[in-house]
Amino acid sequence: MASLALRRAASLVIPPGATKLGTKSIKVLSWNVLLPNSDDGWWTFKNYCPETPEECRTWSYRQEKMKEVCREEDPSVICFQEAGERSYETDFVFLEEEGKYSYEVADKGRMRCMTWYKNEDFDCLFSVNKDRCLILALKHKELDEVVWVVNCHLQAGNSNGGRRLRQLHESLETVRKKAKKLGLNPYSGFRVIVCGDFNSESQGSATQKLLKEGAMEAGFAEHGVVISNKNKKQTVGLFADSYASAYGDVEPPATLVAPKLIEYFTTGGAGLEEAGEELALTHELRTVLTEVFKLYAPSSEMTKAEADVFLTDINLRTDRGSEMRFAYKIIEEKGSLQVDDFIDLYCAEIKGGKFWGVAHDLFIIKEKFGMDANLLDTVLPEFYHRKGTPKGDEDLFKARFDYMFHTAETLNLVGVGRLKEGGGITPMPNAEDASDHHYLAAEYELK
C-alpha cells in the first residue's frame, strides 16, 4: 500500500506554472457535511439512491467516513457547513481526540457553520457570527501572522443573489473592521480564505465579482433579477478561485452530483435550487400520483388512518415531516384528503426543492405495491428505480456549488485536492461519500 504522503501527493492538483516559496504552509478543508442524522436530520436517508444499503445511511457509518477523510487530509483548518444545532458538540468529537483541534460554531440556526483549527498551529483571536457566515481570525503561532477564514453557507435560490451578496460583503467588511481593531496594517495585505457552499454556480455571479474584482456595480443582475441598486466594493484584497487556478484551462469538476429529476417532475424547467411559484407538474407525474393515491385510498378519499399508513411508508413514522404537516392540516379542515390535495402535497415538496424526497417516496411505494416499472420510467430515471448505472450526463445533475477563494497577493496556492471526474461518477451521498457535496481541500503558503 502506498504511504499516506504519497497518496496525498497523488491526489493534489498543482496550479500551472506554480512555484513553492518554501515557507510554512497551511491546509484548509471545506465541506458541506449534509445535516447529521444523529439527533436531527432524520430525512437524510431519502437523499440516497435505492441501491445504497440502509446501514450506509446511518450517522455512525457517515461519521466514520468523515473521520477517515479528516485523518487522511490532516488539515490545519476545517470548515463544516450544516453542522446540526442539536448535536454539533458530539457529531465531530473525533476531532477533539488528544486535544488536536478546537472549534468555533455559529450561534444560531438549525444548520450551522463550524470551523475547527489545529491547536498546535493557531490561536483564535476571535470569531464573529454573521448571516450564514462564520469569520475567524487565526494567529499562526510559528509565523506570528494572522490568517482570516470566512466559512460560508450562502442563501440558496436563483432569486436570492442579493442576499448572497450581502452575506459575503458583510463578512468581508467584518474582516476589514476587525483587522483595524487589531492594529493590522491594510497596506501590508490581509491573508484571507473564503470557502464553503455558495449555493449557486458562482461563475459570473455578484459574489464572484466582489471577490475577484473587488467591486460590483449598481444594476448588476443574476437570472434577470437586479442584485443591488447600489455599488458594492470590498478592500480586503482581490481573490483567486483556488480550484479554477489549480485546474487551469480545464473547468473544475462538479462538487454536487445528483439524479437528474427536475425534467421528470416539472414542465417549467425549474432549477435544482428553486422550483419557483409558477410550478407545473408534468402530466406523467400527476398520473402516477393519482395511481399512488388510489393505492392508499381506494374509496377516493384518504382518511386519517389511510394517511398514517402512507406517512409510515415514506417517513417511517407519523409524527414528522412536511408531508405529515400538510396532510394533517387538510384532514383537520376537510375531514379527508382528495386526490387533488395529494397532488398538491407533492407539488409543495417539489417547490421546496425536495426532488430527492419525492423520488425516494415513489420508489418505496413502487416496491411495496409492485407498481409497473414501465410506469415509473415516465417519472424517474431508469437507473434510479431499477437500481442500475447512470448513463452519465443524461441521468445526472452536476453543479459546482462549493468554492475556495484566497487573497492572491498574500497567499501562494500550492495545490488543491483532486475531485472525482470522468466516468463512474454516481449520485451523492452513497456508500463511499457521506454527504451530497464533495469536500474541498487546498494548501497555501503564507507570503
- With respect to residue 391, please indicate whether it lies within any of the assigned structural domains: no
- With respect to residue 213, please indicate whether it lies within any of the assigned structural domains: yes
- With respect to residue 390, please indicate whether it lies within any of the assigned structural domains: no
Identity of the residue numbered 392 = G
Does residue 116 share a domain with residue 24?
yes
CATH at residue 290: 1.10.238
Q: Please identify every stretch of the chain with a pLDDT value under 50, giving residue numbers as ranges.
A: 1-10, 270-277
pLDDT tens digits for 288-329?
999 999 999 999 999 999 999 999 999 999 999 999 999 999
Does residue 192 share a domain with residue 145?
yes
- Count of domains forming the chain: 2
Cβ distance 194 to 150 under 8 Å? yes
pLDDT at 135: 99
Q: Distance between CA atoms of 303 and 301, rounded to whole angstroms? A: 6
Does residue 421 share a domain with residue 375?
no
Q: Phi then psi for 418, rounded to 5 degrees?
A: -70, 135
User: 81: part of which helix (H) or strand (E)?
Assistant: strand 77-84
Does residue 191 share a domain with residue 112?
yes
Does residue 190 share a domain with residue 139?
yes
Domain of residue 231 covers 4-259+397-446
355, 380, 405 - which closes a domain: 380
325, 352, 380 - which closes a domain: 380
Nearest to 438 by CA among 264, 105, 261, 195: 195
353, 380, 407 - which closes a domain: 380
pLDDT at 268: 65
pLDDT at 401: 96
Cell 435560490: give the residue.
157
pLDDT at 271: 45
pLDDT tens digits for 10-42?
478 989 877 777 778 999 999 999 999 999 999
CATH at residue 101: 3.60.10.10
Does residue 231 share a domain with residue 139?
yes
